[in-house]
Amino acid sequence: MRSSYYEFGSIRLQNGSQVSRMLSWLENRALPLFQKHRFGPMGFFTVDVGPNMPAVFFVLSYPSLAEMETLWGNLDADPDYTAAVAELEKDEPAFYREDAMLLRATAFCPPLAPAPAGDPGHKIFELRIYESPTHRQLGYLHDRFAGGEIEIFHKSGIHPILYADTIFGPNLPNMAYLIPFESEAHREKAWAAFRGNPDWIRIRDESIRRGGDIVRNITNLLLVPASFSMIR
């Protein structure tokens, strides 16, 4: 079923045992329970470059807000989940802080799919969040992506797996997209090809003439998928 909403979460951790404890708990306790209750494709990552490190970043996907509420209601009512949370927290704090965002898929967002069994996946993912000054200008940003920018991405070796607008979270309005890369060298080569493409320069300049400075700020994170992540 196609995902229409995404939950982005960042579990901020302290140096020491919290990182390994959290990753082990997510793999061995949380993930099986998410799968038991039929959550959609999920991604779990460590933050390689970004704020508030160390941290674990996760992506959960839902076909609708109603389904999101149902899934979490069933999970919270599961005594195995209650026991798993108690186990994580029994000796010392499990994390420092947790942040979350709720996003809605854009009209040009592709279906999100887990990696096939046995697929080693990608080495890194890049999460980019583009803040627009106004909701009107965020609409112009959508027009730019759908009007040729995504095509240039693909020609350059950039293949985002989701595009979504934040509906609850910081720095609104904004749009986020998530890109897998084979390596850091692949990432650098792809972005260099994109930035040097004359069609991109033309589309960018046209969008500025039409809507002004439609991207006010960019937040950029580099993520490393966990071995157990369904999205990798």
Distance CA 126, CA 161 (A): 11
Amino acid at 57: F
Ordered by start, the domain boundaries in the chain are 5-105, 124-225
pLDDT at 1: 60
> Among candidates 139, 128, 152, which has minimal Cα distance to 207?
139
Q: 124-225: same fold as 5-105?
A: yes
Q: What is the pLDDT along the chain (232 residues), one digit of tens a residue?
A: 678 999 999 999 998 889 999 999 999 999 999 999 999 999 999 999 998 899 999 999 999 999 999 999 999 999 999 999 999 998 889 999 999 999 999 999 999 999 888 788 899 999 999 999 999 999 999 999 999 999 999 999 999 999 999 999 999 999 999 999 999 999 999 999 999 999 999 999 999 999 999 999 999 999 999 999 999 9
Residue for token digits 């040097």? 196
pLDDT at 18: 94
Do 216 and 132 form a contact (C-beta atoms < 8 A)?
A: yes
Is domain 124-225 annotated with CATH 3.30.70.141? no
CATH class for the domain made up of 5-105 = alpha beta
